[in-house]
């Protein structure tokens, strides 16, 4: 680069930075979290962002290390009465049975096709794994993505009668946007399928595919009949991104401890510990489902989104912030009046 163009480049950089600072100032004057009630939870988020992004602050975090991880089911969208991905799997059993009618005679597919919740609830873990393998593997990644896209743009939630993607929590969307506006990279770190969530993560959360960490199984490389290279999803090499699998997935996919981590259940405990034990300014938050009117209230004995008393104790002891949906969230969904 010759000195003249280097000078022009510097001038550009200076003008851009000055304008960015001005715009940031303008933005700071508006409330970045309008769906949050004033309170300890909202304050904790605002204070964390200020402390970690203000130059000269003792808790300043280098922009490359600004990583925020969000669990999905129960943290960024509704997980009751069943995980969306399980609903997708059950739906796919119907699609498969349309093509291979023999499936209607074989368990556990017959039970799922019966639609009887009591019988379905009795299915064993190996039976459910068989359903997941049948509906999630044996096709190219593109064919799988298409099936998720078809489902997620049409399937409705049984209580709210809306698309699942309309059941994301507006307050959490605001936290993600606020963090990104302050130089954070936001990740979904979910027990759900990585390839499943990637289909809508960009559109729904503003999180690009490469920032989704989830459960995976292997893919195998090969060629189609026309000699085009392709990857096929296979049921081997399953990695479950839950509990201790979350820090493992975070290291695999990101390579550093999160500065902020958000969850809602025992499945997120290790992720929050792993974030906090990196030291320095860290923000750990747990969504507590205590609003049966607007969403759901589930106690320590819930099968989905388990939040036992021991987790509440650990949160208190470690200084994690527990979000009360009922008290901290002014509205839960974007479409609320």
Contacts with a copy of itself by CB under 8 A lie at 1-2, 5, 8-9, 12-13, 15-16, 19-20, 22-23, 26-27, 29-30, 34, 64, 67, 141, 185, 194-195, 198, 202, 208-210, 212, 216, 218-221, 228-231, 244, 247-248, 251-256, 270, 273-274, 277
- Our CB check for a copy of itself shows the closer of 96 and 181 to be 181
> By C-beta, is 1 or 125 nearer to a copy of itself?
1
Phi and psi of 223, rounded to 5°? -130, 145
Tell the smallest beta-carbon distance from residue 22 to a copy of itself (Å): 7
Q: How far is the CB of 274 from a copy of itself (least distance, A)?
A: 5
Nearer to a copy of itself, 248 or 297 (CB): 248
Shortest gap between Cβ of 134 and a copy of itself (angstroms)? 21
How far is it between the farthest Cα atoms of the chain? 77
What are the phi and psi torsion angles at 147 (to 5°)? -65, -35
Nearest-approach distance from CB 155 to a copy of itself, in angstroms: 22
Q: Could you tell me if 68 and 180 are in contact, meaning their C-beta atoms sit under 8 angstroms apart?
A: no
Provide, rounded to whole angstroms, the least separation between the CB of residue 276 and a copy of itself: 8
> Are β-strands 229-233 and 219-223 bridged in parallel, bridged antiparallel, or unpaired?
antiparallel
Comparison of 157 and 257: residue with beta carbon closer to a copy of itself? 257
Q: Give a three-class secondary structure readout of 202-218.
A: HHHHCCCHHHEEEEECC
| Closest distance of CB 20 from a copy of itself, Å | 7
Do 73 and 266 form a contact (C-beta atoms < 8 A)? no
Which ranges constitute the DSSP H helices of the chain?
3-28, 40-53, 84-99, 109-114, 117-121, 125-136, 141-152, 170-181, 194-197, 201-205, 245-253, 269-276, 309-318, 325-328
Closest contact distance (angstroms) between CB of 187 and a copy of itself is 9
Name the minimum Å distance from CB 102 to a copy of itself. Answer: 31
- The answer for residues whose C-beta is within 8 angstroms of residue 271's C-beta and 6 or more apart is 69, 71, 189, 246, 247, 250, 258, 261, 263
Closer by beta carbon to a copy of itself, 192 or else 247: 247
Q: For residue 334, give the nearest of 17, 77, 63 by alpha carbon.
A: 77
Cβ closer to a copy of itself: 2 or 124? 2
Nearer to a copy of itself among residue 7 and residue 300 (C-beta): 7
CB-based contact 6:144 (threshold 8 Å): no
Judged by CB, which is closer to a copy of itself: 67, or 120?
67
């Amino acid at each position: 680069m010759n000195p003249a163009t280097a000078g022009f480049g510097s001038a550009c950089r200076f003008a851009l930075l000055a304008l960015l600072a001005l715009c940031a100032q303008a933005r700071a004057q508006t409330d970045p979290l309008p769906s949050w009630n004033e309170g300890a939870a909202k304050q904790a988020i605002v204070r964390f962002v200020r402390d970690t992004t203000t130059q000269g602050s003792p808790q300043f975090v280098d922009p490359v290390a600004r990583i925020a991880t969000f669990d999905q089911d129960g943290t960024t969208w509704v997980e009751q009465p069943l995980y969306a991905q399980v609903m997708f799997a059950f739906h796919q059993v119907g699609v498969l049975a349309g093509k291979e009618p023999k499936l209607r005679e074989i368990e556990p597919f017959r039970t799922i096709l019966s639609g009887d919740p009591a019988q379905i609830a009795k299915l064993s873990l190996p039976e459910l794994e068989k359903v997941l393998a049948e509906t999630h593997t044996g096709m190219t990644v593109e064919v799988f993505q298409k099936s998720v896209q078809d489902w997620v743009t049409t399937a409705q939630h049984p209580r709210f009668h809306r698309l699942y993607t309309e059941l994301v929590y507006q307050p959490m969307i605001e936290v993600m946007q606020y963090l990104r506006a302050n130089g954070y990279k936001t990740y979904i770190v979910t027990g759900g399928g990585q390839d499943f969530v990637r289909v809508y993560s960009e559109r729904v959360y503003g999180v690009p595919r490469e920032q989704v960490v989830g459960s995976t199984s292997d893919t195998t490389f090969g060629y189609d009949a026309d000699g085009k290279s392709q990857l096929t999803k296979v049921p081997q090499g399953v990695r479950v991104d839950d509990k201790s699998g979350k820090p493992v997935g975070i290291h695999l996919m990101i390579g550093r401890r999160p500065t902020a981590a958000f969850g809602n259940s025992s499945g997120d405990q290790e992720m929050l510990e792993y974030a906090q034990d990196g030291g320095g300014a860290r923000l750990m938050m747990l969504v507590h489902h205590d609003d049966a009117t607007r969403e759901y209230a589930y106690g320590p004995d819930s099968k989905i989104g388990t939040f036992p008393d021991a987790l509440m104790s650990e949160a208190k002891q470690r200084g994690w912030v527990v979000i009360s949906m009922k008290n901290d969230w002014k509205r839960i969904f974007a479409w609320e009046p």
